[in-house]
Amino acid sequence: MIILYGIKNCDTVKKARNWLEQNQIDYQFHDYRSDGLELSLLEHFEATLGWETLVNKRSASWRQLSDEQKNTLDKTSAMAIMLEMPTLIKRPILDNGSTLLIGFKASEYQQL
């Protein structure tokens, strides 16, 4: 079962969803806003991808953080902030059960 994690109004998530649908790939969509984010799931993402990769420094959520939060960010604080504010997580994250892909590149999805 393929699961795509993200936020439904994110342009990159929309591109990923369109690609999956155009290629007739069944998937489940998990929206952080409506479906929530469990600590265990975030820990799984972090263990596989690393917290530095998960933090989207180009997001509006990143810009809302104080300079102190940005300058003192470490694994513990990043995990707490992402759990509280899932829009800080780079998206989408595609999970096919054995591999996690972050972001959307058609070539990477094709290989998977």
In the predicted structure, residue 112 carries a pLDDT above the cut 90: no
Phi, psi of 78 (to 5 degrees): -60, -45
- Residues 4, 10, 16, 42: which is the catalytic one? 10
CATH number for the domain running over 3-111: 3.40.30.10
3-class DSSP state for residue 19?
helix
Tell me: the pLDDT tens digits for 31-72?
999 999 999 999 999 999 999 999 999 999 999 999 999 999
Mention every residue, 6+ apart, whose C-beta is less than 8 A from residue 5: 30, 32, 41, 89, 91, 92, 93, 94, 95
Domain ranges of the chain: 3-111
Active site residue 103: no
